[in-house]
Amino acid sequence: MAMMQGPSVSNVEDIVVCRNVHKWYGEFEALKGVDLDVKTGEVIVILGPSGSGKSTFIRCLNRLEEHQEGRIIIDGIELTHDLRNINEIRREVGMVFQQFNLFPHLTVMENITLAPIHVRKWSRERAEELAMQWLTRVGIPEQAEKYPGQLSGGQQQRVAIARTLTMQPRILLFDEPTSALDPEMIKEVLDVMRDLARGGYTILAVTHEMGFAREVADRVIFFDAGQIVETNHPSEFFTNPKEERTKLFLNQILHH
């Protein structure tokens, strides 16, 4: 199981470096100068009101969205128009979406092994072996031959996580991975995420699961109107936030 351990934590350089990142959608400025450094193995939870630019920000990190100003450097490679850089970075950065985005015409096993075989150029055997290990780790090895449409939401999201992790990324991006799930399925996905957070991965997660944030986050980042308003340790953040806006936000979501 050695290959399933997360990347080693010995490298403590900043694996993600963002400097003054700006992003416009037409006239609308969605990111207004974001600065953030993330150390290898760090777990970061991103909070903020809807429309504050959380998704936009983490989607810039694997170039699903293009930033127009500032610099983003992932593991020493800067994101530019250069397609080779983008592809290299996408191999390092895995993403899990709110809507799972599994490929409905492929079985679970094919969903997971397609990218390792064609992007990483692994043999089918190697890809399937690792896929099976990840399916086991997320707790659904018996679903390998089913199609996504035959699984529950929680199972689908766990397949999506296994699909992302079989590509052996070093950085994981989660965009509200539990928001589309029924309450009884949230826990099974959070358990997997907790497991990963302790496994040495560098994680940036947008999530409103406060329990998760308290338990495993090294830092909590609060976004508002396209800017980082507060960065804090989770215990401080929830009990004693520095900023007025953070307090307001926490009041709203904790006492609604």
Q: Does 26 bind other proteins (CB under 8 A)?
A: no
Give me the long-range contacts of 207-212 (CB less than 8 A, separation at least 24): 207/45, 207/46, 207/174, 207/176, 207/177, 207/178, 207/179, 208/47, 208/176, 208/179, 208/253, 209/178, 210/238, 210/253, 210/254, 212/45
Among 23, 90, 137, 170, the residue binding other proteins under the rule CB under 8 A is 90
Q: List CB contacts of 83: < 8 A, sequence separation 6 or more.
A: none
Among 38, 40, 56, 61, the residue binding ligand ADP under the rule CB under 6 A is 56
> Considering CB distances under 5 to 8 angstroms, the limit depending on partner class, which of other proteins, ligand ADP, Mg ion, none binds residue 103?
other proteins
Among 5, 11, 20, 87, the residue binding other proteins under the rule CB under 8 A is 87
Q: Does 30 bind ligand ADP (CB under 6 A)?
A: yes
Here's the x/- map for other proteins, 136-155, by CB under 8 A: it reads as: ----------xxxxx-----
Shortest distance, position 252 Cβ to other proteins, whole Å:
29
Contact status, residue 227 vs residue 32, Cβ threshold 8 Å: yes
The beta strand positions in 144-241, using DSSP E, are 171-175, 202-206, 219-224, 227-232
Q: Where do we find the tokens 């080779």?
A: 84
> Considering CB distances under 5 to 8 angstroms, the limit depending on partner class, which of other proteins, Mg ion, ligand ADP, none binds residue 118?
other proteins
Q: Does 55 bind Mg ion (CB under 5 A)?
A: yes
Q: Beta strand pairing status for 43-47 and 93-96?
A: unpaired
Among 55, 62, 178, 232, the residue binding ligand ADP under the rule CB under 6 A is 55
> Considering CB distances under 5 to 8 angstroms, the limit depending on partner class, which of other proteins, ligand ADP, Mg ion, none binds residue 30?
ligand ADP
Q: Does 99 bind other proteins (CB under 8 A)?
A: yes
Residues that bind Mg ion (CB under 5 A): 55
